[in-house]
Structure 1
């Protein structure tokens, strides 16, 4: 009987221990479930990062370089001819030259597309300085249709990047007396506007009028 009672007591303690272990396991699982649910909720509530949009760059986005002001200047050739020049345009530039020596003066126009020169976009000011030097070095200014006015930086550029004579030079001999007024009675300013309308589009008319007035150097029409 004593042995049976001892076995019964051991079994009772074993059952109690088993129940305690089961209860502890259930508590641990409950706490873990709460933590997991809280972690899931916090992840769901966390704001999603904004998607990174790829940036695209168009290489042709850059426009033709703009020239601040009108490129212009003056120079004196080796034979003491005093000349002024001015360039106007957007893609195709017209380079007007007006020269005076003694009692005679003459003017002409050169044309080119400076943007055809690869170096033009990054060195606009240097380009026009080199054009001015090239004009001064011309041996037959306004006379040789085959001669090109080149910028040193554009040696490998196509011919369209170099200025070429586009019209026959016109001579204007000076006279001691003023010439009689034209039959139409137009003033010099009106004449310049008329030339601007003939050679330039409507959007460039005002700039072309300025161009012709600068080329003529204030002389009578």
Structure 2
């Protein structure tokens, strides 16, 4: 209860009202004035309360709006970390794929050893052993020196594959295994000609898959090869000429005179 309410109650409950008309009039004016002041003060307090409640409501609305962010405003904030995550993911995937390919390539084609050798005919060869996907590969590249002056050497190459790991002795002495295999190639006139299977003495009783087998032989190259091709072409042309002559003889000769007619046609 406010002070004005107490005053209003006190005025209303007073019994010592003036008895004459003038005093009563003044008293009524005073009471009405006090009532107006009290009502005015109440109205101001009510307006002040409404204003405070309105301000509090506006403040709450501002706080809620500041907490809520529209999706369009969130997009730039979300795109940056999302882009970074995707970038890191793609870099990781690409690096892992590159490592995987490099590892696979190195495991499929890993050169173990290499060197040079000569056959009994003087062919110079370079060799190298590498580890394939499921087997071992022996690669040979050779050249035969030409005996005639001015002619290029004849080049050839071949490849042997096998699984020497299936031979127990190979696991103990791999170097000795390759020495024995290359020793057999050195005894050949041509490294890529001869037997198609190379058996090392230390793995003679091993399974057939443990031995090196010829799988690819590249044709020869050089002037000697061209010379042989030219000879073959000349022989083919000669055969064609003989065939043409026989056809021409058959067209001129009559049945019954074939032997003599053929003889005279050749003389002409």
Q: Taking structure 1 as the reference length, what is the TM-score of the superposition?
A: 0.44
Higher relative contact order (CA 8 A, sep 6+): 1
Q: Say which one has the larger Rg.
A: 2
Quick check: which one's helix share is greater? 2
